[in-house]
Amino acid sequence: MSLFDLAGQVAVVTGGSKGIGRAICERMAEAGARVVVSSRKIDACEEVVAGIKAKGGEAMAVACNVTHIDQLQHLVDESIKAYGKIDCLVGNAAVNPHYGPMTTIEESAFEKIMNCNIRANLWLSRMVLPQMAERKEGSIILISSIAGIKGTDDIGVYGISKAADMAMARNLAVRWGEHNIRVNTIAPGLIRTDFAKALWEDPEKLASVEAQYPLRRIGEPDDIAGVAILLAADAGRYITGQTIVVDGGSTIAVNGI
């Protein structure tokens, strides 16, 4: 059996209709997993599911606004009803409604970030962990960001939420490791997604950023999907409580951003 084979696994991915989440859904399906594609818009999820099925994969769509706990429970219930279990949870859904200094953020925007980026991942983890523990097997992957390990004047509150996800993964890894459950985070750098479009759509700004990256390019969604497969598969069976930085070297370069 390949170390990167996900055959027999059931993976639930939040924010799975586009960008990094979509790439993870598609690539995990290619690796053999049955995938539950989830986001707020069911039509967008169904589009991803159709693409997976067209390539011979197995997937289903479940609409879920992760800021509503009842919808999180519905996502878990529907996934188990359809596939009998959840082997891998990928907490990818995130928002960032505020761009600018932390001291200027409105309370409503702060609450949106905390509810979506932190609370949802904790509650969803709480819902899937018991059935993983029963089988003595499972993997939780939280999609964080290098904003969680760097200082920034523009997306500081978002960075706080992503640092919290890293701490959450460490704490859950300690508590549930005895049940053979691994919990990790992936911290992407700048990735070519709609979510980060404001940071790369200007050609001059993009060229300036890429010139400072050791790999001389920004990331693509598949760059993150590959690491997610590693953490879900046997290849990552001895990795837990870690944050894997996937940023083209930006955080190790003197002028990296």
Tokens of 56: 């011979």
Identify whether 158 is a catalytic site residue.
yes
End-to-end Cα spacing for the chain: 40
Per-residue burial over 136-165, b = 16 or more CB atoms within 10 Å of its CB, e = otherwise: ebbbbbbbbbbbbbbeeeebbbbbbbbbbb
Q: Out of 83, 158, 213, 238, pick the active-site residue.
A: 158
Burial class, 54, CB count within 10 angstroms (exposed 0-12 / middle 13-18 / buried 19+): exposed
Q: Which of 125, 123, 160 is nearest to 145 (CA)?
A: 160
Helices (H), 67-106: 69-83
Contact criterion met (CB below 8 Å) for 187 and 244: yes
Beta bridge partners of 243: 185
Which residues in the chain belong to E strands, given as ranges?
A: 10-13, 34-39, 58-63, 88-91, 138-143, 181-188, 243-246
- Which residues form the catalytic set? 158
